[in-house]
Amino acid sequence: MEIRLIRFIDNKNTEDLSVYDTDEQIISFLKSYNLEFTEIIELNDSIYNVGEISIKLIEDKIEIWVSVDFIDLIENLPTA
């Protein structure tokens, strides 16, 4: 079986941030990032920390669901 979908879900928001559902999108993403717990990734011009990663079998297709936490770069800037 092949991966048919990678779904990113913000822990503080119930809607999907991003869904990669074509082979090209999935391959491009997996070449760019190691999909591991605490990995930092960029989605939709924002930065997120990877949380829980779930693999689901839905209608004989593998889906990867990734919970992410938004990282507020402005809030985390060091002060002089």
pLDDT tens digit sequence for 3-49: 889 999 887 877 778 888 888 998 898 888 888 888 888 888 888 89
The CA distance from 79 to 45, in Å, is: 24
pLDDT tier at 54, thresholds 50, 70, 90: very high
> Are the C-beta atoms of 50 and 35 separated by less than 8 Å?
yes
Say if residue 52 is exposed, middle or buried (CB neighbours under 10 Å; 0-12, 13-18, 19+).
exposed
pTM equals 0.77
23 SS3 class: helix
pLDDT tens digits, 59-77: 888 999 999 988 877 766 6
